[in-house]
Structure 1
Amino acid sequence: MSRPARPRFPYGSVYYRRSNPPEKDWERDYAQAASDGWTVFRHWTLWSAVNTAPGVWDWSLYDRQLDLAAKHGLLTVVQEKLTSAPIWAFEKYPEARLVHRGGRADEPQMSGSCSSGGFPGLSLNHEGARALAGEFLTRLAERYKDHPGLGWYDIVNEAKFPQNQWGKQGDYDFSEPTQAAFRVWLKAKYGSLDALAEAWCQFGYTDWDQVRAPMALAFYTQSLDWLRFRVDNIIEQMRWRAETLRAADPHTPITSHGQAQALQTLSIAGSHDWRSAETVDSYGFTYVQSRHGVEPWMHMHAVDLTRSASRGKPFWHAEHQGGPVWMRDFQMGRPRDDGRLRHPEDIRLSNLMSMAGGARGIMFPRMRPLLSGPLFGTLGPYGNDGRPTNRSAMASEMARWVKEVERTGLWDAMPVRGELGILVVEESQHQALAMHSSPDFYAKSARGAYRGFHEAGYQPDFIVPDQIDDHRTVYLPFPATLPVALRQRLADWVAEGGTLISEGFPGYFTEEGWVTPDETAAWLEALFGVRQTYEEFFADISDDVSFRWKDETIRGGLYTQAFEARGAELLAEYTAEAGPYAKGLAALASHAHGKGRTLLCGTHPGYGAYHKGGSPFFANAAALAGLSPRYDLPAPCFARLCESSAQRFVWLVNPSRGAVEVSLEIAGSGAVVRGDATVGGGLIQARLGGRDATIVRLHNV
């Protein structure tokens, strides 16, 4: 039997997570999925379920899944699950168990996401455990590499560490193998024990074996090194998984997906989407409204972050909510329609939003819900019994539609570069976690900046430092900790014509956690044209910080910095709400630097916008940078322009439940691909259906 071609736009779901769904339904479910236009299933291939004893390998249940896929014309995404280790392996290598910050070594435990045991697996820093895990990966690839039902391998579900553990992710892993790996990392960085002792201000080491990870985080070099090591270590393990699979099967593409959570969990769980995407052939993201809520900007920030992190590689919405989610801590008290229930039109809208942002594949976390565990009855578009529902009917409608429009070239066209970039700086998030015991201040500042620009009609791209040259305008959120080299990089970029919009205290700390008053003062004066005259680090009581700009009140928060001019133009002052000491002091400064310009705000307008939205700061800042939105649509509607070498498409998305009439100018003419619109005379006049999108192919390429 020959293998079908990989679909241009895969559409499907996770299906088998042993021991769900029941084996008696498999044949019927595959036939249903194929009939409904689905093209892929993904399975959690549990190491524990296959390697049931030393030297014993039972692939029979997974064999049947791939055989059924081949029979019904579907392809399989084989998800390796090393995070579910066999019970016997826990006993063979007890020293490889993950160790909690409090000293407890984790026993094998159940996963709420698949109702099977063996989680969170073993430390791959342990040589013996890695050898066992490597054998599983090699055997998996050798078994299925020629199977007609195989489409892709998927590594490291949600690209985070650890998974399904008892404690918080940031509390792991303090096992001896990981401590040893940390020491190797430190030797490479510092070279000698004396240099390490000097950098850490930890004196009296006589042997490298005395060096250990900090059991309590604090804003010191030791903790910052530990956070950086954890990210490096997690990425190295992702790369090892991919290389092990490729060695056994060099022809089948490898994918992975994160949670589009680099702004929140990079420091806690190593969720560095840019570096994770480098290890694989395609990338993706989990995004479910039950966790994040239903606001469109929040969804689109996840899509745009993943697109940027993928750096031109195909990316997919890997876990897309298809059904209700009942009782999770993060939902408590929220209304039913804030992501807790899913209506058919909700599925259509979130499909279309991800597609507009460039996702070229959609998968649900389940075809049908689990029948056991805390996530029973959730997330799948089909019923508990696998029968169709009105939600699965909508998913089927979308699955068929993605095939119908393939001939138009729609899926070859990707979003054009955004008008500006929001700069993601790993060290800034490490500071938030180490200093404030949470990354929330960083995450909310960065997400709020996205919200502000999105609501003003822009497409902000999230970027990392080596992507700065892709944009002429960059926004820098929560930037108190910046590497010294990045300070110079930004100054050079502005001098060459860039516009840098920065929140307060840029570069106040070095990446090692030190305040360098003289160097920072010189940098502020040269790049921003100011000298600091006032500072407050009262993050706990600063939610009401505000200033006036262009006769409008701008909310900030967290820290408060004020300046006097050293060549800059002072644009705004803090109001009384900023506190009696900051009132009347300069809060905003604009400065010409070389061929470019900077705008420095002494507080964090991103943080203010995250909580309340509607901030005028971002439209004003964009105007100062000389930007204007590509298309002007009434809120909450938004547009995305996508192009390939041969085609251009404009997506007009309406997240509201009622229809919206819009009219916008275009250059040239066009033809409607989806929706109700007329195109002519340089205009698109469209009636955007509720929770739907209109797509027009432009004829001016």
Structure 2
Amino acid sequence: MPEEKGRPALSDATRGRLLFGGDYNPEQWPEETWHEDVRLMKAAGVNSVTLGVFSWSKLEPEPGAREFGWLDTLMDLMHEGGIGVVLATPTSSPPPWMGRLHPDTLPVTEDGRTEWWGGRQHFSHSSATYRRYAAAITEDLAARYGGHPALTMWHINNEYCTFDHGDEAAAAFRRWLREKYGTLDALNEAWGTAFWSQGYDTWDGVLPARQPHYMRNPAQVLDFRRFTSDMLLECYVAERDIVRRHTPHLPVTSNFMPLWFGQDAWRWAEEEDVVSVDLYPDPRDPLGAQHGALVQDMTRSQARGPWVLMEQAAGPVNWRGVNHPKPRGLNRLWSLQAVARGADAVCYFQWRQSRQGAEKFHSGMVSHAGEEGRTYQEVKRLGADLARIAPEVSGRHSGADVAVLHDWHAWWAGAQDGRLSQRVDHADVLKTWHRALWQAHLTTDFAHPEHDLSAYRLVVVPQLYLLTDAAIENLLAYVRQGGTLVCGFLTGVADEDDRVRPGGMDARLRELFGIRTLHEWWPLDAGESVACEGFGGTLWSEELEADGTADETLPYKGGELDGLPAVLRKDRAWYVSTLPEPDALRDLLARIAAGTGVRPVLDGLPEQVEAVRRGEVLFVLNHGREPVTVEVPGTHRDLLTGTSVTDRVSLGRYDVAVLRP
């Protein structure tokens, strides 16, 4: 992300280490437990804890009151134990008195239902009352602890994820729209309100995307999603600016949820000193490691360098239908995978597993089994591993030769109710294409379609239904300058107002790929497929007519589209009008990548093994349950074991080698 001149960075908090720790909620425990926690933290190599995330009612038990004594004790205790503190503003969960005294602070759903206190994240992002109380508690926290020697970083709020359709949000939405469009005529044009007699004659008639009798206006919904992301960002920036004023030397972050629908993380990352994310792959998911790799690649790309794994689970979570623990070794493997892909901090929710409350069955670094439990013993081993490798990897960043393009606005627009196939989900398509590259052992960055792409040999667009003119020109320039572009189906269909472009695909893109006419989209039902030359396609197909300029085509075989192009290549631009079956997509992308000179870090890798280079250090990770031997030409030192490795390394189940030449 573009760095503000003079702003602190993650390195100011890590100081050459890998941060290790997690959310610490000592207010759930008697004070005598706190000293025991420090002993266990030090034994496990914990050097960082996050305090205060859900502590608002403890800090402000009634309006205007301040109870800081307990937090004073904890800040001092952490400092005495040599443990740094990431201090959170507690504004994600207002106290019950706020909703009771100020119902305007409570969010309202699209069908008019108030979301009450008793859980968390029960605040309206547009509420002036909420913002006033949030600023006041943030101001007092920053003033009291800004000079404390334990403080290393600020954590604003937690997992911003609220929507609000209430009256105050409606007024804020109208202000946002006035600023964007200026006039009602411009709004009506952008929203296409001539359809279904929706034309507005007064700003007071414009509402959030509340529940109508039938389908909502997709352009209105798109703008409401943009507005929601912006309102949440305003809340973050307001608190960030308060703590920055008190501690200009300390970095500030707020934790993303991975690939969350409601937040334009590209824009948010530009406002953060440190980019952080929470990551909870399902331990029973055979593709859990690939999901982790996708989130890690995306977060590293948003940070444009090292990043923070703010939350993960040491064992089971509590919010799936069935919550499985992590098998022995998996927690270590996935933690080191995050470091391999750029994390300079490995943290958990939470330190000590709760005995009460909604998350008492969510694991902690210290589980209900205590110090002798397997979870803590594995955490302790990981802490030692991170200390061994930190001098060689902390602060290092390695770029990739492949970029995958993603844009939240395209996702929002493509998710409209009236789309051609409810089976087509932007996030699922994105994951499928990233999985193909991951299974081809190719490390990728992510990028916004308007970013500078010149550093990449290969740019992959799984699906971008909405593309701005600037994004299209950027893709054209990338190919003209020698880059190779691969685009999936349903790309370039709409402009930034969700207005379908003439021809169903932007004319500039049709010319780029060698397409004369896109006659029809042919979505596929569940279980339905199309045969193509050399592979099968799923989910989608398109009736394309080539213009005769393509250098290579792979046709559909049989059915309504027999003989028409399923895949076209014109010079260095590829268009794939279906979703190839997983092995076929992997092989196609691997072939295209090889043609650009992009190759895996190691050749001949077993299917379940991942190899990632960070700086000069090579991580080799076995995601399988069976032992493997991996060819690693040359002589290396395994930083985890201190042993020398020549030409090959043996890995047990869920095992990792961290090799330095």
TM-score between both structures, scaled by the size of structure 1? 0.85
Alignment counterpart, residue 357 of structure 2, candidates 373, 379, 394: 373
Aligned counterpart for 2:310 among listed residues 314, 318, 326: 318
Q: CA 1:345–1:81 in structure 2 vs 1: closer, same or farther (change >3 Å)?
A: same
* Alignment partner, residue 335 of structure 1: none
Q: Quote how far apart the aligned CAs of 1:543 are.
A: 5.2
| Map of 1:190 onto structure 2 | 181
Match for residue 394 of structure 2? 411
Identity of aligned residues (%): 24
Query: Do the aligned partners of residues 470 and 228 (structure 1) sit closer, same or farther apart at CA in structure 2, a change above 3 Å counting?
Result: farther
Asked if residue 74 in structure 1 is aligned to residue 86 in structure 2, the reply is no
Give the CA deviation at 1:36: 2.2
> What's 2:620 paired with?
652
Kindly indicate whether residue 571 of structure 2 is the aligned counterpart of residue 600 of structure 1: no
Which of 320, 331, 334 in structure 2 is aligned with 1:347? 331
Q: C-alpha displacement at 1:443, in angstroms?
A: 0.5
Amino acid at match of 2:250: T
1:500 Cα offset (Å) = 0.9
2:297 is aligned to: 304
2:451 aligned with 1:443 = no
Give the Cα–Cα distance (whole angstroms) in 2 for the partners of residues 672 and 128 of structure 1. Answer: 56
Which of the residues 561, 564, 583 maps onto 1:582? 561
**Which aligned pairs between 1:36-435 and structure 2 lie closer than 5 A?**
36-43=44-51, 44-110=53-119, 119-158=120-159, 160-162=160-162, 172-202=163-193, 205-216=200-211, 218=216, 220-261=218-259, 265-266=260-261, 269-270=262-263, 272-290=264-282, 293=285, 295=287, 296-312=289-305, 314-325=306-317, 328=319, 330-332=320-322, 340-384=324-368, 386-407=370-391, 409-414=392-397, 416-435=398-417
Which blocks of at least 5 consecutive residues in structure 1 are unaligned? 111-118, 163-171, 333-338
SS at match of 1:105: coil
Larger displacement relative to structure 2 (498-507 or 194-203) = 194-203
C-alpha spacing 1:174/1:143, structure 2 compared with 1 (3 Å): same
Which residue number corresponds to residue 690 of structure 1?
A: 653
Structure 2 residue 465 is matched with structure 1 residue 480: yes
8 Å Cα contact 1:220/1:512 also seen in 2: no
Q: Decide whether the 8 Å contact of 2:551 with 2:569 is kept in 1.
A: yes
Tell me the equivalent position of 1:637: 609
| Alignment partners' CA distance in 2, 1:87 and 1:384 | 29
Q: Cα–Cα, structure 1 residues 58 and 406, in superposed 2: closer, same or farther, change >3 Å?
A: same
Q: Per the alignment, do residues 620 and 198 of structure 1 end up closer, same or farther by CA in structure 2, a change over 3 Å counting? A: same
Q: Which residue of 1 aligns with 2:512?
A: 527
Task: Write the distance in 1 (CA, Å) between the matches of 2:423 and 2:156.
Answer: 26
Report the secondary structure of 2:371's partner residue.
coil
Aligned to 2:443: 459
Deviation at 1:291, TM superposition (A): 7.9
* Deviations, residues 391-445 of structure 1 (Å, cap 9, x unaligned): 21121122123223344x232432x222211100223201232246879710011
Determine if contact 1:11/1:38 at 8 Å carries over to the other structure: yes
Cα separation, 1, equivalents of 2:19 and 2:418: 42
The alpha-carbon distance between structure 1 residues 422 and 5, as it changes in their structure 2 partners (threshold 3 A), is: closer
Amino acid corresponding to residue 282 of structure 1 in structure 2:
V
The CA distance in 2 between the partners of 1:660 and 1:557, in whole Å, is 35
Equivalent pairs, count: 637
Query: Take 1:372 and 1:439, find their aligned partners in 2: how far apart are those partners?
Result: 40
- In 1, the alpha carbon distance for the partners of 2:642 and 2:554 equals 45
Seen in structure 2, the aligned counterparts of structure 1 residues 361 and 460 have a Cα distance that, compared at 3 Å, is: same
Task: Output the amino acid matched with 1:566.
Answer: G
2:593 counterpart of 1:622: yes
d(CA) in 1 for partners of 2:65, 2:358: 31
- Aligned-partner residue type, residue 98 of structure 2: A
Structure 2 CA distance, aligned partners of 1:4 and 1:433? 39
Could you tell me whether the CA contact under 8 Å between 1:317 and 1:362 is conserved in 2?
yes
8 Å Cα contact 1:427-1:481 kept in structure 2: yes
How far does residue 293 in structure 1 lie from its aligned partner after superposition? 3.0
Identify which of 14, 29, 48 aligns with 2:37.
29
- Residue 671 and residue 201 in structure 1: after superposition, are their counterparts in 2 closer, same or farther (change >3 A)? closer
Matched, 1:497 2:482: yes
Q: Distance in 1 between matches of 2:518 and 2:316?
A: 52
SS in 1 for 2:185: helix
Q: Is the 8 A contact 1:238 1:276 kept in 2?
A: no
Q: Are the counterparts in 1 of residues 503 and 518 from structure 2 also a CA contact under 8 Å?
A: no
Q: Distance in 2 between the 1:509 and 1:412 partners? A: 40
Q: 1:141 to 1:613 in 2, by over 3 A?
A: farther
For 1:204 and 1:108, locate their aligned partners in 2 and report how far apart those are by CA, in whole Å: 37
Matched AA of 2:131? R
Indicate if the aligned counterparts of 2:528 and 2:538 stay in contact, CA closer than 8 A. yes
Amino acid at match of 2:266: W
Shift of 1:536: 2.6
- Is residue 516 from structure 1 mapped to residue 501 from structure 2 by the alignment? yes
| Cα RMSD (Å) | 2.7
Q: 2: CA distance between counterparts of 1:22 and 1:293?
A: 38
Question: Once the 2 structures are TM-superposed, how far is the Cα of residue 651 of structure 1 from its aligned partner?
Answer: 1.4
Structure 1 residue 34 displacement after superposition = 1.3
Alpha-carbon offset, residue 363 of structure 1: 1.0
Aligned-pair distance for 1:499? 1.0
Q: Residue 679 of structure 1: CA displacement?
A: 5.1
